[in-house]
């Protein structure tokens, strides 16, 4: 009988990590995510310390690693894993492998720069220097371990353990992970939902329904609510853009470089093609997002058929034709120049929760201006600057300065790349015979709400594990 240990993303939304061990000694790590933001029980610095803490397993003893998708809360500690001696294969879908290179190298660069900045301050105070969590060399070492697997193909990742990736519809390359465990003449099946996409999300396909499992791990990021109708959200966004143009200010959109940015550019392109985009310029102030755009275009065969046909129907074949007023910035000087623009611009920049990146500088220059509009198109985790603004803070601290929040703040839940409560229940409802169900990757109150809804609608008792819990499969 195999054992599964719940390590990360347990009653929180980041740090996804689970260890599968079989009786004949095989050890497979499912996810290796970084903790981000701040949970109710952990401060930001606690999460930084958690990312640097020793793994609760020996990386050298792992036989394989399986990654559902490229977001850092699912993959961000892979370089540290390689740094600590892991040298086995890392399995992911083909397009996920491409995005992993972008995400991990960028993360390593940030780790090195943050350590360099911190050490400048420490030198002034005669404090010992710190080392980065991992380096570009560590990230490169991890990327060399990638093994590409196409959707629907089954691969034996370790003796007696077979994995099949199914489309999760969350971001490009995202996967539902189906794991078959064969030992002593018996087969047991574990299904990990990964992050399930919303059926309203553009470009991505609907998550693949599965019906056979002995144990299911179900994400619960939005386990307490359903998202607004996608068409209503688009109408709201169009209204915000029109009002911002009348007010004479800019529109700032904090956005994740991978996934959310591509959704936004698709929608803004639709507005442009339909003559409904009042702004004269859209700036994508994220070199990483620009690179992600290219990866998305290389894998356009994975787009939903309806969206691909819509784009083809406009006669456009390239992004500069789809949204001709889009400009991308590369250098820091180009980014800083945007702060001189007083009105008429849409600026999309990372990070999505305003925990760093170029959006922080743009907020410093626009957040205090009543004529400006800030649009949050996705979830803001506890402890992030984005969450503070969404929750109605009158002032926030940005780059060591106290800034008043006078801009108009908007949240667009309908743009979430995560399934809402009803979509989660619908997807898990396809499973026959009600396998053991465990809720993961969600704040506790979201899990409690989803647990109750599953009981009320399906008569299904879902378990909420504690960190470090182990179950038999």
Which among 470, 468, 471, 472 has a CA at the least distance from the CA of 56? 468
- pTM for this predicted structure: 0.91
The region, left, alpha or beta by phi > 0 then psi within -120 to 50, assigned to residue 347 is beta
Report the pLDDT value the prediction gives residue 313, as an integer from 0 to 100.
86
Residue 228 — very low, low, confident or very high, per pLDDT cuts 50/70/90? confident
In the chain, what percentage of residues exceed pLDDT 90? 82
Predicted pLDDT of residue 10: 96
How far is it, in rounded angstroms, from Cα 287 to Cα 293? 10
**Which range (45-59, 170-184, 323-337, 387-401) has the least confidence?**
45-59
Q: Each residue of 252-277: pLDDT tens digit? A: 999 989 988 999 999 999 999 999 99
Mean pLDDT computed over 168-194: 96
Dump pLDDT digits (tens) for 123-142: 999 999 999 999 999 999 99
Query: What burial class does residue 315 get, using C-beta atoms within 10 Å of its C-beta: 0-12 exposed, 13-18 middle, 19+ buried?
Result: exposed
Q: What is the predicted pLDDT for the residue at 38?
A: 53
Give Rg (Cα) of the chain.
22
Question: Which pLDDT score is estimated for 44?
Answer: 47
Task: Kindly report, as residue ranges, where domains of CATH 3.40.50.10890 are found in the chain.
Answer: 230-415
What is the model's pLDDT at position 276?
95
What is the DSSP secondary structure assignment for residue 199, as one 8-state letter?
T
For β-strands 161-167 and 154-158, DSSP reports them as antiparallel
Q: Rounded distance, CA 90 to CA 251, Å?
A: 40
Given pLDDT bands bounded at 50, 70 and 90, which one contains residue 414? confident
In this structure, the strands spanning 345-349 and 395-398 are unpaired
Percent of the chain beyond pLDDT 70?
98
Task: List pLDDT tens digits, range 280-290.
Answer: 999 999 999 99
pLDDT at residue 219, rounded to an integer = 98
Of 300 and 157, the structure prediction assigns the larger pLDDT to 157
Tell me the C-alpha distance between 50 and 44, whole Å: 10
Helices 287-298 and 94-124: crossing angle in degrees, nearest 10, is 170
Q: What is the pLDDT of residue 40?
A: 42
- Average pLDDT estimate for 140-162: 98
Q: Start-end ranges of CATH 3.60.15.10 in the chain?
A: 3-225+417-472
User: What is the topology classification, in CATH, of domain 230-415?
Assistant: Rossmann fold (3.40.50)
* Sign for the pseudo-dihedral over CA of 98, 100, 106, 108: negative
Q: Give pLDDT, residue 45.
A: 54
Exposed, middle or buried, 471 (CB in 10 Å: 0-12/13-18/19+)?
middle
Range ranked top by mean pLDDT from 42-46, 314-318, 412-416, 454-458:
454-458
Summarize pLDDT for 25-51 with one digit per residue, the tens.
999 999 999 998 654 444 445 777 889
State mean pLDDT over 176-192.
96
In angstroms, the CA 35 to CA 51 distance is: 6
For residue 39, the model assigns a pLDDT of: 45
pLDDT, position 319: 76
Q: Phi and psi dihedrals of 14, rounded to 5?
A: -130, 170
Residues making up the chain, counted from first to last: 473
> What is the average pLDDT across 357-383?
92
Please say whether the structural domain 3-225+417-472 has been given the CATH code 3.60.15.10.
yes
Structure-block tokens of residue 31 = 């996810």
Question: What value does the mean pLDDT of the chain take?
Answer: 93
């Amino acid at each position: 009988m195999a054992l599964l240990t719940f390590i990360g993303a347990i009653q929180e939304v980041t740090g996804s990590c689970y260890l599968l061990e079989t009786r004949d000694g095989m050890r497979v790590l499912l996810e290796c995510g970084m903790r981000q933001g701040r949970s109710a029980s952990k401060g930001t610095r606690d999460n930084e310390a958690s990312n640097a803490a020793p793994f609760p397993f020996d990386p050298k003893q792992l036989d394989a690693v399986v990654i559902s998708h490229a977001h850092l809360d699912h993959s961000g500690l892979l370089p540290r894993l390689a740094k600590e001696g892991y040298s086995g294969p890392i399995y992911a879908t083909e397009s996920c492998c491409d995005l992993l290179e972008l995400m991990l190298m960028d993360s390593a660069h940030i780790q090195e720069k943050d350590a360099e900045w911190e050490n400048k301050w420490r030198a002034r105070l005669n404090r010992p220097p710190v080392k980065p969590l991992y380096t570009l060399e560590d990230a490169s070492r991890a990327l060399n371990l990638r093994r590409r697997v196409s959707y629907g193909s089954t691969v034996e990742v370790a003796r007696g353990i077979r994995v099949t990736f199914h489309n999760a519809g969350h971001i490009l390359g995202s996967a539902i992970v189906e794991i078959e465990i064969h030992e002593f003449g018996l087969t047991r099946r574990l299904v990990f939902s990964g992050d399930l996409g919303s059926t309203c999300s553009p470009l991505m396909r609907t998550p693949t329904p599965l019906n056979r499992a002995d144990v299911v791990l179900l994400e619960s990021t939005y386990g307490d609510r359903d998202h607004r109708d996608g068409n209503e959200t688009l109408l709201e966004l169009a209204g915000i853009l029109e009002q911002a143009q009348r007010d004479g200010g800019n529109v700032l959109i904090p956005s994740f470089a991978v996934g959310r940015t591509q959704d936004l550019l698709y929608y803004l392109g639709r507005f442009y093609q339909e003559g409904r985009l009042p702004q004269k310029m859209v700036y994508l102030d994220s070199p990483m997002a620009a690179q992600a755009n290219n990866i998305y275009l290389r894998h356009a065969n994975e787009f939903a058929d309806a969206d691909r046909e819509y784009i083809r129907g406009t006669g456009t074949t390239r992004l500069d034709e789809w949204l001709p007023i889009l400009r991308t910035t590369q250098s820091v000087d180009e980014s800083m120049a945007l702060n001189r623009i007083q009105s008429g611009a849409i600026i999309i920049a990372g990070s999505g929760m305003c925990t760093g990146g170029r959006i922080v500088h743009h907020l410093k220059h626009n957040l205090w201006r009543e004529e400006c509009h800030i649009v949050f198109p996705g979830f803001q985790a506890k402890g992030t600057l984005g969450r503070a603004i969404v929750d109605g803070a009158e002032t926030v601290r940005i780059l060591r300065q106290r800034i008043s929040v006078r801009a108009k703040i908007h949240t667009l839940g309908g743009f979430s790349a995560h399934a809402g409560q009803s979509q989660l229940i619908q997807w898990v409802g396809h499973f026959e015979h009600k396998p053991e169900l465990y809720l993961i990757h969600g704040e506790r109150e979201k899990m409690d709400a989803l647990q109750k809804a599953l009981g009320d609608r399906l008569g299904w008792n879902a378990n909420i594990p504690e960190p470090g819990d182990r179950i038999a499969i």
